[in-house]
Structure 1
Amino acid sequence: MLKRHEITLTTPRPESTDDLEQVFSGLIETIDRRLIIAIDDIDRLSASEVLEAITTVRSLLITGTYHKCPPVFLISCDEDIVREAIVGVRPGLAHRPVQQARASEQQVPIKAAERKATEEAAQEYLNKLFTVRLVLPTHHDADLRLYLEQLLTQPDPHQLVGRLGGISALRDVLETLIHPEVRDPRHAIRLLNAFLADYGVAIRREQDNGAIAWITRGEVTGHPIALARLTVLRHDYRALYDAIRAEHDLLALLDDALLNTPSALRDPLLEGYTLKEEEDGSGTCPATASVLCPVSTPQPTLECAT
């Protein structure tokens, strides 16, 4: 009686672009319907890897056009990051010469004009690669807070809800964590996880467990809003957080300055965080001459292209 054996065939991993194209071509030949390939997180790669991934997708896209059922590539990414990778790693990939006359007329430095021309060329490269774009709208603050609230309450409430004292207190914390510059769920979850870690450390340090407690019970956990503010500062505004660690009165002064308290606005500690408005026609500055400097960062947009 013959004994049954299993035979496993292995093929070497394609190393070069040509090898990958041949493997991909053979794959889609065996499928009699359109193949949809979804690619995510390209914008989380390094700049050189981003460009390599985009170049590979372009190569496979060209390979697939010669088949009866050309594949469709669905790419989710932040186009600003991809475009910056093209500009930074290979500025000549889609480069076009700078028009010197136009740069002169606009009094634009040559380097700035070259940078602009390269960015425009990189955008043209992406326009040729992506046939259809679907730009997703920015997430609303309320949607992100509701998303985190559902994570903490469904299907079963997280222990944090009870420790804070109920859903109302939880919403106050989420209101603090989701500040105006949080624009995607990934960022929101990162801040929530950081707060949970900070709160957990505070709980452990407030418990004596037979030893001397680091801090008194409720000294930190009894002020979750303040802890949430520090969590946000440490992760998203590190320079300001370090300044507050060095000078503990700075945070309270910033709060008073936001309320336009004159003594706070004149405090020397806030000199690096305020702007002075121009004097009015009478030669004096208006009462609200000092305003806190806003901290702004480019907002990412999620794009989906085929």
Structure 2
Amino acid sequence: MKAIVTEGYEGPDGLRLTDRPDPKVAPDQVLVRVRAAGVNPVDWKIADGALDALFDTHFPLVPGWDVAGVVAEVGLDATEFAVGDEVIGYVRRDDVQHGTYAELVAAPVRTLARKPSALDWRQAAGLPLAGLTAYQALDRVGVGDGDTVLVHAAAGGVGSLAVQIAVARGARVVGTASERNHDFLRSLGAEPVVYGDGLADRVRALAPDGIDAALDFVGGDAVAVSQGLLRRPERVASVVGPDVKALGGHLVWVRPDPADLAALADLADAGKLTVHVDRALPLAEAADAWRLSREGRTRGKIVLDVG
């Protein structure tokens, strides 16, 4: 099979397209013929060595955790799927080596759900990691009907999905973004505000009585600003770093969860959730995809076309 590999912590310059052996398929896995793979900042952070303290990483490394494709083979005890099923997955294992930037991936069934028919292959590939992150962060702070939620970096891959999921739950959403993304946020059901100095005052102008929950997908002072606006300061979740725990909030590191992934697919098929694909590049241009991701200006998701 063709796959993107890196031989060490070399960043985008170390990526190359090469031939790799087809994956072996364990009893609890299925072999997925990949149609598209999502690109996430964690992919290049791993290849930079930034997460070496968290994951046992082995080389040569095929990056990537997001996948959308078709089941080509089932393991001996993988009864959940059949050959020909269209699936999506957040294919994260306990160590890092066999990723989704490849024509084939052996995926544990615990990482997969059926692809929503409402999304095309590119959109479907952009859903798993970002969608699960948003979904689990909203769960962690208990967002439900009638809540007012502040979403930091609301136009990004995770933020844009968090906005839609919160709206689907009956929440009112205030989202931070640059002015060029305000119409995009309005189209998702959010009330946009510009981030930066004076953010707290701009949010208070929209929600004078305060907010019920906040999600931080950007870092910096987002948690501290949020806690000055929250009715209950502990109802803030961040994906950026452990400092949020010291401030009384919740750190969210996304977990594979087939039930959560299926719930996201159901929302998509119900017309309540979509994935905005900012750029789609061929698999061979994975390095360029990473360079775009590093710029931090992506609206929605970057994906790789594979098959």
Per the TM superposition, whether the score is higher than 0.5 is: no
Whichever structure has more helix as a proportion of its residues is 1
TM interval, short-chain normalised: under 0.3
Q: Bigger radius of gyration, 1 or 2?
A: 1
Whichever structure has more strand as a proportion of its residues is 2
TM-score by length of 2: 0.25
